[in-house]
Amino acid sequence: MNYYLAPMMGYTDCYFRSLVENIYGNSVTTFSEMIVDKAIIHNETKTITKHFLKNNKSAIQIAGSDPEEIKRAINILNKVDIIKHVNFNLGCPSSRVQENMLGLALTQKYDLVKKCLFELIKYNKDVSVKCRLGLGMNEDKSYIFDYLKLFYEIGIKKVFIHCRNGVLNLDTKKNRTIPKINYNLFLECCDQFPEMELIPNGEVNDLETFKFFQSKNITQFMIGRQFAKDAFFLEKLDLENVKKKTASIINTINELEHYKYLNINLLKKSIFTALSNISNSKKVKKEISVINNYSGLLNYFERNAIWS
Ligand SMILES: Cc1cc2nc3c(=O)[nH]c(=O)nc-3n(C[C@H](O)[C@H](O)[C@H](O)COP(=O)(O)O)c2cc1C
Protein backbone atom coordinates (compact mmCIF):
# COMPACT_ATOMS: atom_id res chain seq x y z
CA MET A 1 0.00 0.00 0.00
CA ASN A 2 1.06 3.59 -0.56
CA TYR A 3 0.35 6.42 1.80
CA TYR A 4 0.53 10.19 1.42
CA LEU A 5 0.87 12.69 4.23
CA ALA A 6 -1.72 15.35 3.36
CA PRO A 7 -0.62 18.98 3.06
CA MET A 8 -1.51 20.80 6.29
CA MET A 9 -0.72 24.43 7.07
CA GLY A 10 0.96 24.64 10.44
CA TYR A 11 1.85 20.92 10.42
CA THR A 12 3.57 19.64 7.31
CA ASP A 13 6.61 21.85 7.67
CA CYS A 14 10.00 20.34 6.87
CA TYR A 15 10.37 19.04 10.46
CA PHE A 16 7.25 16.93 10.45
CA ARG A 17 7.73 15.74 6.87
CA SER A 18 11.28 14.68 7.65
CA LEU A 19 10.06 12.80 10.72
CA VAL A 20 7.37 10.91 8.80
CA GLU A 21 9.85 10.08 6.02
CA ASN A 22 12.38 8.81 8.53
CA ILE A 23 9.76 6.63 10.22
CA TYR A 24 8.22 5.09 7.13
CA GLY A 25 10.81 5.44 4.37
CA ASN A 26 9.35 5.30 0.89
CA SER A 27 5.96 3.99 2.03
CA VAL A 28 4.77 7.52 2.75
CA THR A 29 5.07 10.44 0.34
CA THR A 30 4.78 13.80 2.01
CA PHE A 31 3.35 17.15 0.86
CA SER A 32 4.37 20.64 1.90
CA GLU A 33 1.98 23.13 3.37
CA MET A 34 0.20 25.16 0.71
CA ILE A 35 2.57 27.73 -0.80
CA VAL A 36 1.08 30.58 -2.82
CA ASP A 37 2.71 31.01 -6.26
CA LYS A 38 3.46 34.67 -5.45
CA ALA A 39 5.82 33.57 -2.65
CA ILE A 40 7.79 31.50 -5.17
CA ILE A 41 7.88 34.33 -7.69
CA HIS A 42 8.82 37.15 -5.32
CA ASN A 43 10.96 35.31 -2.80
CA GLU A 44 12.16 32.15 -4.47
CA THR A 45 15.30 31.36 -2.51
CA LYS A 46 13.85 31.94 0.93
CA THR A 47 10.59 30.16 0.13
CA ILE A 48 12.34 27.07 -1.20
CA THR A 49 15.12 26.88 1.37
CA LYS A 50 12.73 27.49 4.24
CA HIS A 51 10.20 24.86 3.22
CA PHE A 52 12.54 22.20 1.80
CA LEU A 53 15.65 20.53 3.19
CA LYS A 54 18.58 19.76 0.90
CA ASN A 55 17.68 16.05 0.71
CA ASN A 56 14.00 16.85 0.11
CA LYS A 57 11.63 14.08 -0.98
CA SER A 58 8.36 15.98 -0.52
CA ALA A 59 6.00 17.30 -3.13
CA ILE A 60 5.30 21.03 -3.08
CA GLN A 61 1.68 22.09 -2.91
CA ILE A 62 1.05 25.39 -4.65
CA ALA A 63 -1.98 27.63 -5.01
CA GLY A 64 -2.63 30.31 -7.57
CA SER A 65 -5.40 31.73 -9.73
CA ASP A 66 -3.57 33.90 -12.26
CA PRO A 67 -2.31 31.80 -15.19
CA GLU A 68 0.56 34.26 -15.79
CA GLU A 69 1.76 33.90 -12.21
CA ILE A 70 1.42 30.15 -12.27
CA LYS A 71 3.51 30.16 -15.43
CA ARG A 72 6.25 32.16 -13.68
CA ALA A 73 6.18 29.94 -10.59
CA ILE A 74 6.39 26.79 -12.71
CA ASN A 75 9.31 28.24 -14.67
CA ILE A 76 11.13 28.69 -11.39
CA LEU A 77 10.17 25.25 -10.05
CA ASN A 78 11.39 23.63 -13.25
CA LYS A 79 14.87 24.72 -12.20
CA VAL A 80 14.66 23.50 -8.60
CA ASP A 81 16.34 20.09 -8.54
CA ILE A 82 15.30 19.05 -5.03
CA ILE A 83 11.57 19.21 -5.87
CA LYS A 84 10.10 16.58 -8.18
CA HIS A 85 6.34 16.83 -7.77
CA VAL A 86 3.98 19.81 -7.87
CA ASN A 87 0.49 19.47 -6.45
CA PHE A 88 -2.14 22.13 -7.17
CA ASN A 89 -4.61 23.14 -4.47
CA LEU A 90 -8.23 23.25 -5.63
CA GLY A 91 -9.81 22.37 -2.30
CA CYS A 92 -8.87 24.84 0.42
CA PRO A 93 -11.96 26.78 1.62
CA SER A 94 -10.26 29.20 4.05
CA SER A 95 -11.53 32.78 3.92
CA ARG A 96 -8.12 34.27 3.07
CA VAL A 97 -7.64 31.76 0.30
CA GLN A 98 -11.18 32.45 -0.87
CA GLU A 99 -10.58 36.24 -0.94
CA ASN A 100 -7.75 35.65 -3.39
CA MET A 101 -9.84 33.30 -5.52
CA LEU A 102 -7.53 30.37 -4.72
CA GLY A 103 -8.23 26.74 -3.79
CA LEU A 104 -11.90 25.81 -3.62
CA ALA A 105 -13.06 29.32 -4.62
CA LEU A 106 -11.22 29.02 -7.92
CA THR A 107 -13.34 26.02 -8.87
CA GLN A 108 -16.32 28.38 -9.27
CA LYS A 109 -14.59 29.44 -12.49
CA TYR A 110 -14.15 26.39 -14.65
CA ASP A 111 -12.48 28.23 -17.56
CA LEU A 112 -9.99 29.92 -15.28
CA VAL A 113 -9.12 26.56 -13.68
CA LYS A 114 -8.50 25.26 -17.17
CA LYS A 115 -6.13 28.14 -17.98
CA CYS A 116 -4.27 27.66 -14.69
CA LEU A 117 -3.87 23.93 -15.32
CA PHE A 118 -2.51 24.58 -18.80
CA GLU A 119 0.34 26.47 -17.13
CA LEU A 120 0.69 23.91 -14.34
CA ILE A 121 1.33 21.05 -16.75
CA LYS A 122 4.36 22.86 -18.09
CA TYR A 123 6.09 21.53 -14.99
CA ASN A 124 8.50 18.93 -16.29
CA LYS A 125 8.25 16.33 -13.49
CA ASP A 126 5.20 14.95 -11.61
CA VAL A 127 1.97 16.97 -11.45
CA SER A 128 -1.14 16.26 -9.40
CA VAL A 129 -4.22 18.06 -8.11
CA LYS A 130 -5.99 18.00 -4.74
CA CYS A 131 -9.69 18.80 -4.76
CA ARG A 132 -13.01 18.26 -3.04
CA LEU A 133 -15.91 16.05 -4.12
CA GLY A 134 -18.25 18.96 -4.58
CA LEU A 135 -18.91 22.63 -3.94
CA GLY A 136 -21.62 23.64 -1.47
CA MET A 137 -23.65 21.42 0.85
CA ASN A 138 -25.53 19.40 -1.74
CA GLU A 139 -24.27 16.40 -3.64
CA ASP A 140 -23.63 17.34 -7.25
CA LYS A 141 -21.89 14.62 -9.21
CA SER A 142 -21.41 16.86 -12.21
CA TYR A 143 -18.92 19.04 -10.25
CA ILE A 144 -16.42 16.27 -9.67
CA PHE A 145 -17.12 14.44 -12.94
CA ASP A 146 -16.60 17.64 -14.97
CA TYR A 147 -13.38 18.44 -13.17
CA LEU A 148 -12.01 14.89 -13.45
CA LYS A 149 -12.76 15.00 -17.16
CA LEU A 150 -10.88 18.30 -17.43
CA PHE A 151 -7.88 17.00 -15.46
CA TYR A 152 -7.80 13.89 -17.61
CA GLU A 153 -8.02 15.79 -20.88
CA ILE A 154 -5.28 18.17 -19.80
CA GLY A 155 -3.08 15.22 -18.86
CA ILE A 156 -3.27 15.26 -15.07
CA LYS A 157 -4.03 11.71 -14.05
CA LYS A 158 -3.16 11.77 -10.36
CA VAL A 159 -5.86 13.39 -8.22
CA PHE A 160 -6.19 13.47 -4.44
CA ILE A 161 -9.85 13.77 -3.54
CA HIS A 162 -10.95 14.98 -0.12
CA CYS A 163 -14.09 12.85 0.00
CA ARG A 164 -16.49 15.53 1.20
CA ASN A 165 -17.79 18.72 -0.36
CA GLY A 166 -16.17 22.06 0.37
CA VAL A 167 -18.38 24.96 1.39
CA LEU A 168 -17.38 28.59 0.83
CA ASN A 169 -18.06 31.00 3.72
CA LEU A 170 -17.89 28.13 6.22
CA ASP A 171 -14.80 28.13 8.40
CA THR A 172 -12.00 25.68 7.68
CA LYS A 173 -12.57 23.57 10.79
CA LYS A 174 -16.27 23.11 10.00
CA ASN A 175 -15.28 22.36 6.41
CA ARG A 176 -13.47 19.28 7.72
CA THR A 177 -16.47 18.00 9.69
CA ILE A 178 -19.84 19.32 8.49
CA PRO A 179 -20.02 18.28 4.81
CA LYS A 180 -20.49 14.52 4.98
CA ILE A 181 -17.81 12.08 3.90
CA ASN A 182 -19.01 10.37 0.74
CA TYR A 183 -16.74 7.46 -0.13
CA ASN A 184 -19.39 5.99 -2.43
CA LEU A 185 -19.22 8.98 -4.74
CA PHE A 186 -15.43 8.67 -4.70
CA LEU A 187 -15.81 5.02 -5.80
CA GLU A 188 -18.17 6.12 -8.56
CA CYS A 189 -15.43 8.48 -9.74
CA CYS A 190 -13.02 5.51 -9.84
CA ASP A 191 -15.53 3.58 -11.98
CA GLN A 192 -16.09 6.52 -14.32
CA PHE A 193 -12.39 7.32 -14.73
CA PRO A 194 -10.58 3.97 -14.63
CA GLU A 195 -7.48 5.37 -16.31
CA MET A 196 -6.92 7.96 -13.60
CA GLU A 197 -5.07 7.49 -10.33
CA LEU A 198 -7.59 8.69 -7.77
CA ILE A 199 -6.52 8.74 -4.14
CA PRO A 200 -9.04 9.11 -1.32
CA ASN A 201 -8.53 11.54 1.54
CA GLY A 202 -10.71 12.40 4.54
CA GLU A 203 -10.98 10.42 7.78
CA VAL A 204 -9.09 7.42 6.46
CA ASN A 205 -8.00 6.64 10.01
CA ASP A 206 -9.02 3.15 11.02
CA LEU A 207 -8.69 -0.44 9.87
CA GLU A 208 -12.32 -0.68 8.90
CA THR A 209 -11.92 2.17 6.39
CA PHE A 210 -8.66 0.82 5.01
CA LYS A 211 -10.27 -2.63 4.58
CA PHE A 212 -13.35 -1.13 2.94
CA PHE A 213 -11.18 0.60 0.34
CA GLN A 214 -8.93 -2.41 -0.14
CA SER A 215 -12.00 -4.52 -0.89
CA LYS A 216 -12.62 -2.06 -3.75
CA ASN A 217 -9.02 -2.38 -4.96
CA ILE A 218 -7.96 1.01 -3.63
CA THR A 219 -4.44 0.75 -2.28
CA GLN A 220 -3.31 4.38 -2.00
CA PHE A 221 -4.45 6.75 0.72
CA MET A 222 -3.87 10.36 1.70
CA ILE A 223 -4.04 10.99 5.44
CA GLY A 224 -3.74 14.24 7.36
CA ARG A 225 -4.82 14.74 10.94
CA GLN A 226 -4.23 11.16 12.10
CA PHE A 227 -0.52 11.48 11.30
CA ALA A 228 -0.43 14.70 13.31
CA LYS A 229 -2.15 12.99 16.26
CA ASP A 230 0.11 9.94 16.24
CA ALA A 231 2.94 9.70 13.74
CA PHE A 232 3.20 5.94 14.41
CA PHE A 233 -0.47 5.21 13.76
CA LEU A 234 0.18 3.12 10.62
CA GLU A 235 2.37 0.87 12.71
CA LYS A 236 -0.21 0.75 15.50
CA LEU A 237 -2.79 -0.47 12.97
CA ASP A 238 -0.26 -3.08 11.79
CA LEU A 239 -0.24 -1.58 8.31
CA GLU A 240 3.45 -0.73 8.37
CA ASN A 241 6.42 -2.17 10.19
CA VAL A 242 8.67 0.33 11.96
CA LYS A 243 11.78 -1.21 13.42
CA LYS A 244 14.02 1.57 14.59
CA LYS A 245 11.85 4.20 16.23
CA THR A 246 14.53 6.02 18.21
CA ALA A 247 16.81 6.00 15.16
CA SER A 248 14.08 7.62 13.06
CA ILE A 249 13.87 10.50 15.55
CA ILE A 250 17.66 10.85 15.74
CA ASN A 251 17.92 10.83 11.95
CA THR A 252 15.32 13.60 11.78
CA ILE A 253 17.24 15.72 14.27
CA ASN A 254 20.50 15.05 12.40
CA GLU A 255 18.97 16.08 9.09
CA LEU A 256 18.15 19.47 10.56
CA GLU A 257 21.61 20.20 11.90
CA HIS A 258 22.53 22.68 9.15
CA TYR A 259 19.03 23.98 8.47
CA LYS A 260 19.29 27.75 8.32
CA TYR A 261 15.83 28.41 9.73
CA LEU A 262 15.99 25.86 12.56
CA ASN A 263 13.30 26.52 15.17
CA ILE A 264 13.70 24.17 18.10
CA ASN A 265 10.05 24.56 19.17
CA LEU A 266 8.77 23.47 15.75
CA LEU A 267 11.15 20.52 15.82
CA LYS A 268 9.86 19.52 19.26
CA LYS A 269 6.25 19.98 18.10
CA SER A 270 6.82 17.47 15.30
CA ILE A 271 8.63 15.00 17.58
CA PHE A 272 5.73 15.14 20.06
CA THR A 273 3.49 13.59 17.39
CA ALA A 274 5.61 10.44 17.71
CA LEU A 275 5.28 10.29 21.49
CA SER A 276 1.51 10.12 21.93
CA ASN A 277 1.39 6.37 22.45
CA ILE A 278 4.29 5.64 24.75
CA SER A 279 3.44 4.61 28.32
CA ASN A 280 5.12 7.61 30.01
CA SER A 281 4.19 10.12 27.32
CA LYS A 282 3.45 13.01 29.72
CA LYS A 283 6.77 12.69 31.55
CA VAL A 284 8.83 12.41 28.36
CA LYS A 285 7.07 15.38 26.75
CA LYS A 286 7.63 17.44 29.91
CA GLU A 287 11.35 16.60 29.90
CA ILE A 288 11.65 17.49 26.23
CA SER A 289 9.68 20.69 26.56
CA VAL A 290 12.39 22.26 28.77
CA ILE A 291 15.18 21.47 26.31
CA ASN A 292 15.91 24.61 24.35
CA ASN A 293 18.79 23.78 22.08
CA TYR A 294 19.65 21.42 19.25
CA SER A 295 22.37 19.35 20.94
CA GLY A 296 20.28 18.97 24.10
CA LEU A 297 17.49 17.45 22.05
CA LEU A 298 19.84 15.13 20.21
CA ASN A 299 21.45 14.01 23.49
CA TYR A 300 18.05 13.29 24.99
CA PHE A 301 17.20 10.75 22.31
CA GLU A 302 20.70 9.29 22.23
CA ARG A 303 20.67 8.66 25.98
CA ASN A 304 17.09 7.60 26.64
CA ALA A 305 15.73 4.28 25.45
CA ILE A 306 12.18 5.49 24.90
CA TRP A 307 11.22 2.44 22.87
CA SER A 308 13.26 -0.34 24.42
C1 LIG B 1 -4.50 22.19 10.17
C2 LIG B 1 -4.83 21.80 8.77
C3 LIG B 1 -4.26 22.49 7.71
C4 LIG B 1 -4.55 22.12 6.38
N5 LIG B 1 -3.90 22.76 5.36
C6 LIG B 1 -4.10 22.32 4.08
C7 LIG B 1 -3.32 22.84 3.00
O8 LIG B 1 -2.42 23.67 3.18
N9 LIG B 1 -3.59 22.37 1.75
C10 LIG B 1 -4.57 21.42 1.51
O11 LIG B 1 -4.76 21.02 0.35
N12 LIG B 1 -5.28 20.91 2.52
C13 LIG B 1 -5.06 21.31 3.79
N14 LIG B 1 -5.74 20.72 4.81
C15 LIG B 1 -6.68 19.62 4.51
C16 LIG B 1 -5.95 18.27 4.60
O17 LIG B 1 -4.96 18.16 3.60
C18 LIG B 1 -6.94 17.12 4.45
O19 LIG B 1 -7.56 17.24 3.19
C20 LIG B 1 -8.03 17.11 5.54
O21 LIG B 1 -7.45 17.29 6.82
C22 LIG B 1 -8.81 15.79 5.50
O23 LIG B 1 -7.95 14.69 5.73
P24 LIG B 1 -7.87 13.96 7.17
O25 LIG B 1 -9.28 13.61 7.59
O26 LIG B 1 -7.02 12.74 6.94
O27 LIG B 1 -7.25 14.95 8.12
C28 LIG B 1 -5.46 21.07 6.12
C29 LIG B 1 -6.02 20.38 7.19
C30 LIG B 1 -5.71 20.72 8.50
C31 LIG B 1 -6.31 19.92 9.65
Per-residue confidence at 199, pLDDT binned at 50, 70, 90?
very high
Same-domain check for residues 218 and 282: no
Pocket perturbation via mutation, ligand 1, pick of 176, 177, 220 by most ligand atoms within 8 A of CB? 176
Beta strands in the chain (DSSP E): 2-5, 28-36, 59-63, 85-90, 126-132, 158-162, 197-201, 220-223
Q: Is residue 15 part of a domain?
A: yes
The span from the first CA to the last CA of the chain, in angstroms, equals: 28
Atom 29, ligand 1: which residue's CA is nearest? 8
Atom 15, ligand 1: which residue's CA is nearest? 8
Q: Is residue 308 part of a domain?
A: no
Check: pTM over 0.85? Answer yes or no.
Answer: yes
Instruction: Kindly report, residue by residue over 91-125, the tens digit of the pLDDT.
Output: 999 998 899 999 999 999 999 999 999 999 999 99
Instruction: Kindly report, residue by residue over 11-41, the tens digit of the pLDDT.
Output: 999 999 999 999 999 999 999 999 999 999 9
The answer, yes or no, to whether any atom of ligand 1 lies below 6 A from the CB of 7, is yes
Instruction: Kindly report, residue by residue over 116-173, the tens digit of the pLDDT.
Output: 999 999 999 999 999 999 999 999 999 999 999 999 999 999 999 999 999 999 999 9
What pLDDT does residue 23 have?
A: 98
The answer, yes or no, to whether any atom of ligand 1 lies below 6 A from the CB of 61, is yes
Domain containing 290 equals 245-303
Cβ-based neighbour number of residue 94 at 10 Å: 18
Query: What integer is the mean pLDDT of 237-259?
Result: 96
Domain count, the chain: 2
Amino acid identity of residue 144, one-letter, is I
Same-domain check for residues 200 and 276: no
What pLDDT does residue 308 have?
A: 72
Same-domain check for residues 44 and 75: yes
Pocket perturbation via mutation, ligand 1, pick of 3, 9, 129 by most ligand atoms within 8 A of CB? 9
Closest CA to 35 of 55, 57, 4, 14: 14
Atom 3, ligand 1: which residue's CA is nearest? 8
Instruction: Kindly report, residue by residue over 37-83, the tens digit of the pLDDT.
Output: 999 999 999 999 999 999 999 999 999 999 999 999 999 999 999 99
CA of 172 to the centre of ligand 1 (A): 9
CATH number of 18's domain = 3.20.20.70
CA of 104 to the centre of ligand 1 (A): 13
